[in-house]
Chains A and B, each alone.
Chain A
Amino acid sequence: MRTVHVDEIIKNVKEMCIEANHFLSEDVDAALSCAQKSEKSPLGKQILNQLRENLEIAGDDMIPICQDTGMAVVFLEVGQEVHVEGGLLTDAVNEGVRQGYVEGFLRKSVVKDPFIRENTKDNTPAVIHYDIVAGDKVKITVAPKGFGSENMSRVFMLKPADGMQGVKEAILTAVKDAGPNACPPMVVGVGIGGTFEKCALMAKQALTRPLNIRSQIPYVKEMGEELLEQINKSGIGPGGLGGSTTALAVNINTYPTHIAGLPVAINICCHVNRHCVREI
Chain B
Amino acid sequence: MDKYITIPFDKETALTLQSGDYVYLTGTMYTARDAAHKRMYETLEQGGELPFDIKDAVIYYMGPSPAREGRPIGSAGPTTSSRMDKYAPTLLDLGQRVMIGKGKRAEAVKDAIVRNGAVYFAAVGGAGALLSKSIISSEVIAYDDLGTEAIRRLEVKNFPAIVVIDSEGNNLYETAINDYKED
Q: What residues of chain A have their CB less than 8 Å away from a CB belonging to chain B? A: 40-41, 43-44, 46-47, 50-51, 53-55, 57-58, 61-69, 105-109, 117, 119, 121, 148, 151, 179-181, 183, 233-237, 239-244, 270-272
Query: Given A57-B133, A239-B122, is A68 in contact with B173 using a C-beta cutoff of 8 Å?
Result: no
B176 at the interface (CB under 8 A from A): yes
Q: A119 — nearest CB in chain B belongs to which residue?
A: B147
Which residues on the A side are within 8 Å of B164 (C-beta)? 241
Q: A238 — nearest CB in chain B belongs to which residue?
A: B124
Which residues on the B side are within 8 Å of A239 (C-beta)? 102, 122, 124-125, 162
Which residues on the B side are within 8 Å of A272 (C-beta)? 126
Q: Say yes or no: B180 contacts A237, CB within 8 Å.
A: yes
Counting chain A CB atoms within 10 Å of each CB, which of B82, B104, B128, B180 scores highest? B180
Which one, B20, B63, B124, B183, contacts A107 given CB within 8 A?
B63
A66 to B148 alpha-carbon distance, docked (Å):
14
Q: A61 — nearest CB in chain B belongs to which residue?
A: B129
Q: Can you offer 24 A-B residue contacts whose CB atoms are under 8 A?
A: A41-B180, A43-B20, A50-B160, A63-B75, A64-B128, A65-B75, A67-B63, A67-B128, A68-B79, A105-B67, A106-B65, A107-B65, A109-B148, A119-B146, A180-B122, A180-B125, A181-B80, A181-B103, A233-B182, A233-B183, A235-B182, A237-B180, A242-B172, A272-B126
Query: Given A50-B130, A179-B173, is A105 in contact with B66 using a C-beta cutoff of 8 Å?
Result: yes
B88 at the interface (CB under 8 A from A): no
B residues 130-183 near A (Cβ < 8 Å) are: 130, 132-133, 146-148, 160, 162, 164, 172-173, 175-183
Q: Say yes or no: B177 contacts A237, CB within 8 Å.
A: yes
Which residues on the B side are within 8 Å of A47 (C-beta)? 124
Which residues on the B side are within 8 Å of A62 (C-beta)? 68
Q: Say yes or no: A235 contacts B178, CB within 8 Å.
A: yes
Q: Say yes or no: A148 contacts B103, CB within 8 Å.
A: yes
Q: Say yes or no: B183 contacts A66, CB within 8 Å.
A: no
Counting chain A CB atoms within 10 Å of each CB, which of B63, B104, B126, B183 scores highest? B126
Q: A48 — nearest CB in chain B belongs to which residue?
A: B124
Q: Say yes or no: B180 contacts A107, CB within 8 Å.
A: no
B89 at the interface (CB under 8 A from A): no
Which one, A50, A64, A117, A233, contacts B124 given CB within 8 A?
A50
B117 at the interface (CB under 8 A from A): no
Q: What residues of chain B have their CB less than 8 Å away from a CB belonging to chain A? A: 20, 22, 35, 62-68, 74-77, 79-80, 82, 102-104, 122, 124-130, 132-133, 146-148, 160, 162, 164, 172-173, 175-183
Q: B179 — nearest CB in chain A belongs to which residue?
A: A242
A240 to B164 alpha-carbon distance, docked (Å):
10
Which one, A53, A148, A234, A237, contacts B80 given CB within 8 A?
A148
| B159–chain A nearest beta-carbon distance, Å | 13
Which residues on the B side are within 8 Å of A64 (C-beta)? 65, 74-75, 128-129
Q: Say yes or no: A180 contacts B63, CB within 8 Å.
A: no
| B161–chain A nearest beta-carbon distance, Å | 11
Q: B175 — nearest CB in chain A belongs to which residue?
A: A242
A53 to B22 alpha-carbon distance, docked (Å):
18
A106 to B130 alpha-carbon distance, docked (Å):
16
Which residues on the A side are within 8 Å of B146 (C-beta)? 119
A121 to B149 alpha-carbon distance, docked (Å):
12
A234 to B162 alpha-carbon distance, docked (Å):
21
Q: Say yes or no: A241 contacts B162, CB within 8 Å.
A: yes
Counting chain A CB atoms within 10 Å of each CB, which of B66, B127, B178 scores highest? B127
Q: Say yes or no: B128 contacts A270, CB within 8 Å.
A: no
What 9 A-B pairs come out closest when comparing CB atoms?
A242-B176, A235-B181, A183-B125, A181-B103, A235-B180, A67-B75, A54-B130, A63-B129, A235-B177
Q: Say yes or no: A181 contacts B82, CB within 8 Å.
A: yes
Q: Say yes or no: B147 contacts A63, CB within 8 Å.
A: no
A145 to B177 alpha-carbon distance, docked (Å):
27
Query: Given A63-B75, A64-B75, A241-B172, is A54 in contact with B126 using a C-beta cutoff of 8 Å?
Result: yes
Which residues on the A side are within 8 Å of B102 (C-beta)? 148, 180-181, 183, 239-240
| A59–chain B nearest beta-carbon distance, Å | 9
A54 to B164 alpha-carbon distance, docked (Å):
22
A235 to B67 alpha-carbon distance, docked (Å):
37
